[in-house]
Amino acid sequence: MADKNQGNIKIDIELCTGCRRCAEVCPVDAIEGNDGSSQSINIDKCVMCGQCIQICSAYASVFEEYPTSREKKLLERNLPETLTEPLFAAYSIGDLPKVKEALANSAKFTMVQCAPAVRVSIAEEFGMPLGSLVPGKLAAALRQLGFNKIYDTNFAADLTIMEEGSELVQRITEGGTLPMFTSCCPAWVKFVEREYPELIPHLSSCKSPQQMAGTMFKTYGAEKDSIEPENIFSIAIMPCTCKKFEAERPEMNTSGYQDVDAVLTVRELAYLIKEVGIDFNSLLESSFDKPLSMYSGAGHLFCATGGVMEAAIRTAYEMITEEPISDVNIQYVRGGQGIRRGVVKAGDLKVKTVVVSGLKNVVPILEEIKQGDADFHFMEVMTCPVGCVSGGGQPKMLLPKDNDISFKNRISSTYRHYEDQIYRKSHENPEIKAIYQKFLGEPLGQKSHHLLHTEYTPRREGK
């Protein structure tokens, strides 16, 4: 029987060996138990990053009988009964049954979005080289699965930059709370809400791209397709296990409907493709549907550490100076796990930035801010080691050496795909311009603020 932890991430006590490798990678010390005994997750502390799932190597042996049958374990995990892959001790609860039900329901109009990191990892589930770039096959697979509209989170990443860049400029020029923090990583947001509630005003009020896309589906998308929003079922394909938690936040319904109805990790999408019998490797390339899929290279960079910062700097620079930035490639924000500081000169302003990858690395900086010692304007934080390409919902590497290779290859595919895009700046995306002109009005305007921004919840008293 699985343990009784609440929440989306769980440890199966029948399979856990107590090796505590998961505790070594957990960024918030949420895994509790003695060496050699089965572990449990402190759900209040857990930020649902899924890094414990990625590292866990204890799995159900076919030679052993467990009190809970494989069939029951599959059911508990919401996995297909046809699944032949090993079941590991650390796992997440999936959304596959909800998605299958929506696909089978002719009264539902399904709109699916794919995060940037999905197109550089999904092929690994089908034996293709680590980090293969396959946006066309991804779109083709989703089409064969029967989704009505195949849209792209990258589009909403550009939208996020329009709102977040404007918010940063407003805070700097009009005296708002600084430094401002990015808010697109839900694990980071949950961490601030619980561990540093006094710093909540530093978080950008922007919803994440996943949530912005969901909002646009049930408003602008509903209008475009002449569908009643209540009949839209909004699905997100994500490299992240915490995106399920974010989608279920009760405040994520500013359109009058929950922005996102179900989230599938990359692993879950692969299970579904296999269950239906689609030969992924042989698929002919297809494309995403208009209009909520056109994106700039800047939007695509969201999946790598430093990518949100790079996209935001390009747009904020041009908002401040009203001149083109001399070099769009801002190399100092790029890199691996750790902290990168830098300064961008925009007219008379020197905008100081910090990029943090790996949640544990942010603690000294938050303490700096609490002491009043921080002298920078904007901070990007990603919980996972090198950003969303290394997320807890990505394909699981069975050999530890493959982890580093997959991260490196997924990042290089990310930059290659970025280079392929016609537009390099979010504010130059023609569909983004059109959406503001026809529907949203101005960034930070009344409608865009209502639909695309949110509020946060302190999760522990007295801290």
Computed over its alpha carbons, how large is the radius of gyration of the chain? Answer: 21
SS3 443: coil
- Sketch the per residue contact string, 151 through 180, with ligand SF4: x for CB under 6 A, - otherwise: ------------------------------
Taking CA atoms, 420 is separated from 133, 391, 415, 423, in Å, by 12, 24, 9, 9
**Bridge partner list, 113:** 151, 236
Site for ligand SF4, residues 102 to 161, rule: CB under 6 A: none
Comparing CB distances to ligand SF4, the nearer of 357 and 448 is: 357
Minimum distance of ligand SF4 from residue 356's CB (angstroms): 16
Comparing CB distances to ligand SF4, the nearer of 53 and 79 is: 53
Is position 19 an interface residue for ligand SF4 (rule: CB under 6 A)? yes
Selected from 26, 120, 122, 309, the binder of ligand SF4 by CB under 6 A is 26
* Strand extents, DSSP E, 117-197: 149-152, 180-181
Is position 18 an interface residue for ligand SF4 (rule: CB under 6 A)? yes
> Which of 260, 210, 269, 293 is CA-nearest to residue 393?
269
* Rounded Cα distance, 38 and 196, in Å: 30
Minimum distance of ligand SF4 from residue 59's CB (angstroms): 9
* Rounded Cα distance, 400 and 417, in Å: 26
Minimum distance of ligand SF4 from residue 323's CB (angstroms): 43
Is position 189 an interface residue for ligand SF4 (rule: CB under 6 A)? no
Taking CA atoms, 347 is separated from 86, 274, 441, in Å, by 56, 53, 27
Residues known to be catalytic: 164, 167, 184, 204, 243, 246, 251, 388
- Are 392 and 51 in contact by the 8 Å Cβ rule? The answer is yes
* Strand extents, DSSP E, 262-325: 262-265
Taking CA atoms, 49 is separated from 46, 87, 245, 366, 432, in Å, by 8, 19, 10, 20, 30
Minimum distance of ligand SF4 from residue 139's CB (angstroms): 30
The arrangement of strands across the sheet holding 349-357 comes to: 180-181, 378-382, 349-357, 338-346
Is position 21 an interface residue for ligand SF4 (rule: CB under 6 A)? yes
Question: For the chain, what is the largest distance between any 2 Cα atoms, rounded to a whole number of angstroms?
Answer: 69
Q: Which stretch binds ligand SF4 (CB under 6 A): 26-34, 102-110, 125-133, 431-439?
A: 26-34
Selected from 3, 5, 14, 17, the binder of ligand SF4 by CB under 6 A is 17
- Sketch the per residue contact string, 28 through 67, with ligand SF4: x for CB under 6 A, - otherwise: x-xx-------x-x----xxxxxxx--xx-x---------
Selected from 2, 60, 87, 89, the binder of ligand SF4 by CB under 6 A is 89
Comparing CB distances to ligand SF4, the nearer of 46 and 354 is: 46
Q: Which stretch binds ligand SF4 (CB under 6 A): 19-27, 301-309, 315-323, 331-339?
A: 19-27
Comparing CB distances to ligand SF4, the nearer of 28 and 162 is: 28
DSSP-derived secondary structure for 181-237? E----HHHHHHHHHH-GGGGGGB--BPPHHHHHHHHIIIIIHHHHT--GGGEEEEEE
Minimum distance of ligand SF4 from residue 35's CB (angstroms): 9
Comparing CB distances to ligand SF4, the nearer of 266 and 292 is: 266
> Which of 334, 384, 343 is CA-nearest to residue 362?
384
- Sketch the per residue contact string, 199 through 238, with ligand SF4: x for CB under 6 A, - otherwise: ----------------------------------------
Selected from 90, 123, 212, 452, the binder of ligand SF4 by CB under 6 A is 90
| Count of chain residues binding ligand SF4 (CB under 6 A) | 28
Is position 20 an interface residue for ligand SF4 (rule: CB under 6 A)? yes
Is position 388 an interface residue for ligand SF4 (rule: CB under 6 A)? no
Is position 185 an interface residue for ligand SF4 (rule: CB under 6 A)? no
Task: Please enumerate, as own/partner, the contacts of 81-88 that have beta carbons within 8 Å and a separation of 24 or more.
Answer: 82/274, 82/275, 83/271, 83/275, 86/59, 86/60, 87/12, 87/15, 87/59, 87/60, 88/15, 88/53, 88/56, 88/57, 88/58, 88/59, 88/396
Which residues contact ligand SF4 (rule: CB under 6 A)?
A: 9, 11, 16-22, 25-26, 28, 30-31, 39, 41, 46-52, 55-56, 58, 89-90
